[in-house]
Structures are given as structure tokens and as C-alpha cells.
Amino acid sequence: MKIGILISGRGSNMVALVDAVGSGKIPASEVAVVISDKADAAGLEKARKRGVETVVIERRRRTREEHDAEIIAELNKRGVELVCLAGYMRLLSPPFVAAFPNKIINIHPSLLPSFPGLNVQQQALDAGVKISGCTVHFVNDDLDAGPIIAQKAVQVLDDDTAETLAARILEQEHTLYVEAVRRICTTETQRAQSISGDA
């Protein structure tokens, strides 16, 4: 499978995925492109250093659909089959979701359906939960609401701040995201092999 990754910032989950493809842990042919909607996203340099092509596609004054259409075109141009959102801070338009049915996934730093959206760790602290964590899920038209693929729990400590909790969850995100993508790529490869075996 060819993977495309969308980022808006730091890109640590993107790095975890790129490195796992590079080491063979994820059985994908390549990360074909990293696309950012922010020209100053720190993740862009990290991707380039790893030899991955990067493209910046800013929203500018366009509609969400126009912006997404350009991203879809860049993904299709490279034959991307699995789109991984990794800190991509925009809600995808319905045509984007429809262009890659069940092939867009996201990582979110809470145990969904609890605490969707932004300021997630502060939401968890304010609610007083003792367990939080992270979720990999399929992307649908609603924010952080698609079918859940995998989750990992992280204990909330009494003296946690949003920052300390975020840092411990982020560590788990990296392994969870790699494992989820590994499973998807493995299943897809087996499916393709059984189809070619049938032919």
C-alpha cells in the first residue's frame, strides 16, 4: 500500500509512521507524500530529512471543498491508497471522505467517544477521569466520530497537567498508530494476494 500523511504541525506521529515503514515494521511500499496545510509546520523538515516528498497546500481564501480537491489530486497523483491524518487540524469535507472510502484514519489523544475536538487533555482533567488514552479511528464526516480501530489507555495521575498528560499519551500514540497501520496494511496485502491467487 502507498501511504499519504497529512499534518499541520510537529509531526511526531508522522515520523513514527515513516520510520516504521522504513524499518519494514509496517508492510507498505512507501510513504509517498507528506502534505501540510501550514507552510511552517515543523514536521515538514522531519519528513524531508527522511527522504519523503513534502507538499504544502494552504487553504488561503478557498472553500474547504476547493482546498480538499487539491489535496485529493496530489494524493491520487501518487497512487496513495491509505491516508493517515497525524495532527492535521482541519475537518475533511464530505467529498474528501468519499474519495477514500474506509481509507482515511486519524489518531486522537483521548479514549473516544470521550473528549473529541480540541484541548483534549484539559477536558479530561476537568472531567476528573482517572484513565485517558488515545484512539485510532476511521474518519467520517463528523469530527472524531468514525468507527474505532484501536485504543490504548493511559493513567491520569493526581498531579498531571495538560502538558504532562499529553506527553505520556503521545508516547502511546506513536506505538498505537504504528500497530494500527501495520494491521491495516497486513490485511490489505493478504487480501490482494488472495485475489491474485484466485485469478
In whole angstroms, the minimum distance from the beta carbon of 139 to ligand GRF comes to: 11
Minimum Å gap between C-beta 163 and ligand GRF is: 12
Amino acid (1-letter code) at residue 150: A
| Whether 174 is catalytic | no
CB-wise, 73 or 127, nearer to ligand GRF? 127
| Sign of the Cα pseudo-torsion (185, 186, 187, 190, in order) | positive
Q: Which residues contact 78 (CB under 8 A, 6 or more apart)?
A: 2, 4, 32, 33, 53
Which parts of 23-119 fold into alpha helices (H)? 42-49, 64-77, 94-99
Amino acid at 149: I
Nearer to ligand GRF, 43 or 146 (CB): 43
Residue whose beta carbon is closest to ligand GRF: 87
Select 22 or 188, whichever has its Cβ closest to ligand GRF: 22
Question: Within a 10 A sphere around the Cβ of 78, how many other Cβ atoms?
Answer: 16
The residues with which 5 forms a beta bridge, in sequence order, are 34, 84
C-alpha gyration radius of the chain: 17
Q: What distance in Å separates the CA atoms of residue 140 and residue 142, rounded to the nearest whole number?
A: 6
Q: Rounded to 5 degrees, what are φ and ψ at 33?
A: -165, 145
| Minimum distance of ligand GRF from residue 11's CB (angstroms) | 5
CB nearer ligand GRF, residue 103 or residue 137 = 137
* Residues making contact with ligand GRF (CB under 6 A): 7, 9-13, 43, 86-87, 107-109, 170, 173
Interatomic CA distance for residues 145 and 126, integer angstroms: 21
Catalytic residues: 108
